[in-house]
Every structure is written in structure tokens, then in C-alpha cells.
Structure 1
């Protein structure tokens, strides 16, 4: 069925196309009874404004774009993203703003979507996740001039606004806790090395090693999947002097690591302590329950929506919003190292 046009509405109501345009755009010059009839017919015909025409008229799209360059299979099992997206959409829905979500293969495809959606006026703003150390998306979005908010920081996002939590401070709190328990050999199963937050966490652990006088710290990068998390754990536990504690960059990888420890006969927490950087139902129902850095991810997403909406209203006002640092919730997966593991 052809998309209904202003001309179609005008023909059915028996008025001019100009009158229909005035009524649909809320402009004066049309009798209230006629306006009501036009709006009713437009609703019955399921009329929607064309994006190109809307752009020329300066009208808003009432939508925000989120493009993610990660494997869909990995995202599908991450509670963090599910909670973040739920909070984000809840915050946008309060203002009747939709979210256009697209998952693509790589950053090149992501930037192409930004250009396409901006030129077609599909969205009023963009939300950018997975901030990279040298992020080519920042320059593209600055060039497009569409209001954009980066989830991540501090820094590395040019003139764009941001919402972030301090990953460094969070990792330091984990290292301090494990060191206080007596651990001296710590490992870190990290995410993708190009991510800004991955590098901040890795540097924080290295700094903690010197500050706390640890015997050894090692970070190994992965793609956040359970498979790579399990493989990294297997390699770490096969060392002659294996770590006494492992910190995982996601709850999914921590759960995979817990499974590998059981498979290799390494008891948690008696012979190995495990900490997850993300908290979720996965860490709470595991046996033993996993010590984790916890935050209200739903509220984090909602705060992101609030900043995005505020930026759309005042695009000239840059915002840099630091949210609460995730707090450590101690559960049964951490304990002092066994005496046999002493240095």
C-alpha cells in the first residue's frame, strides 16, 4: 500500500493541501473544527511525516540513535547491556522519544550509519558506547554536528558530552580489598584492548602492584565472551605459579571462570578468589555467589537518557557527568589465600 500523503488527506477532507499542512504542523489559519477533522483523517490513514520533509522544516525526529559495533551473539548474553538499554529507553520514553538501535560489524559500518541517519534526519541525537583510546567516531560526530553523548570517560571524547563512571577508582578498590585479604598474585581477565575503560582498568592494576607491593599482576585481553573468558582462565590456572585471585571485566566471564576452576579442581574461594567487574543476577545465583562491583545499571541508562534529552534541548551546552563509582559487594567467592599459596 502506498504511503499516504498530504494530498491524499486533503482530497478526503475536501480542503487544500496548504490547509492540511497548516493543521498538521500546528500553525494558525485553519478553523478548529477543520483542524480536528484533518488530524482525525490523518490518524485514520496512518499518515506519518516524511523524514526528509521533516528535516527541511526543522521538526524533530523524536528519536535517538544507538549503533553498537559488537557481535550480536556476545551482546545477547550480557546483563549489563540489557539493563543499560532498559534504563535508557525508560528515560527516553518519559518524553515520548524512541530509540533506534542497530548492531553492526565494525566501526566503519557504525560511522556510515551515523552519516546516513544524520542526513535523513532520522534521529535528534546519538549515544556512543565502547569509547576507544583513539576513537575515529568522535571526529565524525563533531563534523556532523548532531547532539551526541558518549558513555565513557574521562576524556578521549573531544567536544562531545559524556556520562561516565570511574573505572580506575573501581579497580583500585578491588586491588586494595584483595591485598588486604593477603593476595599477592593477581590476574585480570580484561575486555577488548582498544576500549578506553579496559586500558584504565589495566593501568590501575599495574599501579596497585607497585603501591601495594604485590608479587605479580597480569592482565590478559579478551572479546568479553564466555569462551574467551574460559580460555584465559584455563591458561592462568595452568601456570606453575598461578594467581590466587582473578578479576574479570564482566559477570559472564566471571561465571565462565568459575566453571573452569571447578573443571580443573581448583576450589573457590579456598584456592582461588574471583571478582566480577559487573554485578547481575548471574553473580548472585552462582555457587559460590561471586564478589562483584555493583551499580544500578538501569539508573545509569536512565541518567544517560536525561543527559541526551537535555543536550537536544540545549545543544550548545556541553555536559560531562560523572556518576557514582561502582561499589564492591563481597560474597562467597573471595577469601584469604590458602597457606600453601604463600609467596
Structure 2
């Protein structure tokens, strides 16, 4: 069968795994063979950085820049991303065309020494490259240390086994997509400690003027996942959400209601600003979701001011 669509994806093991799974579901919906959807691996700048935080090199866009360029150049028809890696503002000519059904958004606690964060002994080190996870750890356990742990999932698990840290947190969705969910010794309560905005969700981007591709993606859209992630992205945007700001957010649609929890912390975990709200959904639900996220994010931004930004000095 001739190739109908070319799918761009990062070359990492996790990205290729979730792209393969997404391709299979999309092909089934379209009623075509897998070979009609060609995967084009693209190495991004973010994949080559293994020794420091993304903030030190440019932030979230490092995982999307090369795929955006390939889209605009016509080398691929769609890009598949983890939605939490997608900047809140996309380049001109590119749209967030589709949000498929969302995987479990929770964080997983991974350790060979304890069953939960609460069980770690004082002075233990938690490894992470996420400013959010760092701040949430220090808020809950100021007696712990935090060390930088970068790399893909396999790399971080190996570093944990080598004793580089006593515990770490990984997205449960990523572990499940790699068949590694058994490595989670416990799951984090997402209301008490919300995950990264849009965690567990995938983003499929396309050219804004590519009607053929946009039409083919329409039936792949999951309404609840779109509502939830639009609320979370609006919350992020209101807070200037990037790798520079510790932000957790989770919206969950349940029937005609949506529950939202969002928080921002100082990087040292000393102070936390938090909002929770449950709203009835009706009418223009996407606009309603975005308005809720923007309002709650704006309230925190006004309350916290510049204290939530990581000190670059």
C-alpha cells in the first residue's frame, strides 16, 4: 500500500514506542495497513542533552524544533509529541490537530530502597531533572536531597541501580508504553501532588493548511483529553509555564463535571501556591476549560509574583 501519511517522531525509545502504538490505533481507525503510515525518526536537540537541565539549554522547544521544521518543510505530515513537551505557543503554520485518548497521568515513585517518598530516610537523594518534581519533593520532605538525573527512561533506571540516587519519579504513562510499569513501587496521589500539565497525553501536530491530514485526524480526537489538556495548557500559559517554573496541573473530566487542581512552588519547595476547583461543563466546553485554567493560573501569578521563577543568578 502506498504511503498516505508520514509521521515524524523523536528518535528516543519511548517516543518511537508511543508513536508505534499511536500509528496502530490511527491505522485501525482509518482502515488502512500499517505500511500506509510511515514513521520518520528525527533526532531533536533535546535528545542529545543528557548532562544538564533543559532550562540551561533553551527549554521545552528543544524537543519540538526539528519536528516543526520537518512539518513546515513538507518532509512529514504529522508530528507526534508527548503533550507536556509541547510549548504553549506553536510556530506559525502549525496547529495542535489532535489529542488522542489520554494514558494515566500520574507520577510513579521508583526506588530500590523505599516504597514511597515518605519512607525514604532523612538525607536520602532523589534524582530528577524536573524543577517541578524537585520543588514538590522538597515541599513534602525538606530533609531530602535532590540530585540531577537526566536521560531517557532506561538511562535513569540504570543510574538508579548504580546508586546515583536513592529514588526517582517517572511518568507512569511512559513506563506503561515501554512495558516497564512494574518498576513503579507506588503511585503519587495526583490531587495531593499534581503531575506535569498534560502528562500522559499525546499531541499530534500538523500544518494548519493541510486539510487532508486534519480531516484524517479528526476521528482520532478524544473529547475529554482535549478538554483536560486545554485547561492545563491555559494554566501553564498564564504562569509563563516553561522549564523555568515548577508547575503541576491536572484536570479530569467526569461526566458533565471537570475537576482541576493546579499548583506552583518556589524551586526550593519552601512555598506553594495552589488552586482546586470543580466546574459543571456545558456549551463551549473548550473555551470554558481554557478560561478556567487561565483564571486560576492568573490568580497564582498575581499572588506569587516573581518568586516562582528559578534564580538564574
In the superposition, the TM-score normalised over structure 1's length comes to 0.37
In the superposition, the TM-score normalised over structure 2's length comes to 0.40
Looking at secondary structure, tell me which structure has more helix per residue: 1
Give the structure, 1 or 2, with the largest relative contact order (CA under 8 Å, sep 6 or more): 2
